[in-house]
A and B are shown apart, each in its own frame.
Chain A
Amino acid sequence: MADLRPADDATIPADERLYVRVFPAPDAVIPVEGGGYRPHSGSIKGRYPDEPMSIDLGSLSTPEQTRDRGADGNFHVVMLSAEAVRQLGFRIIRDPIVAGPIPNPAHALIMGTRPNPNGDLEGALTGGEYSRLARIARYVAFTPQPWEPGHGA
């Protein structure tokens, strides 16, 4: 098994805020003991299970920009701290999107330990890793119009 992941980017400081866009399904918002709300772990999974987790760096994006970029703004946003993510063993790297219709200089990746079919680590996350991240994430922005099954997305 080879670890093909890039090294953690030490230029991303411990107090960096990491933002993730969340689809506003009614059950995506879960109250946390002691206050605040965390996301449903299924809400932070990316579309492709063999890829790292996409995030925005808070030093280069506001929560509202993360919510609205390339979309209609009808999303929630959760926040993780880089320090807490690293304490769980993840690596964080910059991955700015400079080409295409929706550039995003704030784009970065959280690298996990889900092996690819060859057993190598390329940065995808296991279900347990998404679960751990969901438990340390907290909502920082809500859409005023959460999705309801009676309406379109």
Chain B
Amino acid sequence: MSSAAATNRVTFPAHSHSRYLPGITVNDSIPVVGGMEQWRSEAIQKVIGFSRLEPNWDSHGSQAPSLAVRQTAIDLLMRVPGELLPAPRIVPSSGGGCHFEWSVGHRELEVSIEPDCRIEALRVENGLPIEDGSQMDLTALFVWLASL
């Protein structure tokens, strides 16, 4: 088995954008064109719902994932190529993180957002984790997952 250092670490590109624009209001009477896929909307709602976890939700003293963790998780979900991949399975992780699993055929991708918002990714093929230390950005990881 290989070391933790072999686990892929992933960072967002520098052009990550803010979703919050002070001073701008939304006119709800204008219909939205080009909606979000249902799975993505539901996944974002799950992440938002983690804010409702009570202190000690895991019986080990953990807090709910912080706003920063949840925002990082939502940024991640917005980058998933929805036309290629199914909905991820999402759980809160002890310590205040979020953990995602995608499955496509015999390939799986696990992405962990740590409490300090670090992102770690793990590829799994035929049930065997690949901890080879290779560095792949998120786009490459999703392409790997979808390219069966």
Contacts and interface: CB of A to CB of B under 8 A. Distances in A.
A23 interface: yes
Interface stretch (B11-19, B23-31, B33-41, B92-100): B92-100
**Interface of B, helix, strand, loop or mixed by DSSP:** mixed
**Interface of A, helix, strand, loop or mixed by DSSP:** loop
Interface residues of B, number: 45
Given A70-B59, A127-B110, A135-B127, A152 B2 contact: no
Contact of A126 (B6, B54, B61): B6
Interface of A: 21, 23, 25-28, 30, 40-43, 45-49, 70-71, 75, 89, 112-115, 124, 126-129, 131-132, 135, 147-153
Interface of B: 1-7, 45-46, 48-50, 52-54, 56-62, 89-95, 97-101, 110, 112, 114, 120, 122, 124, 127-131
18 contacts: A21-B59, A25-B90, A40-B91, A40-B99, A42-B100, A45-B95, A46-B94, A47-B95, A115-B5, A126-B1, A127-B129, A128-B7, A128-B122, A131-B110, A131-B124, A147-B57, A152-B54, A153-B54
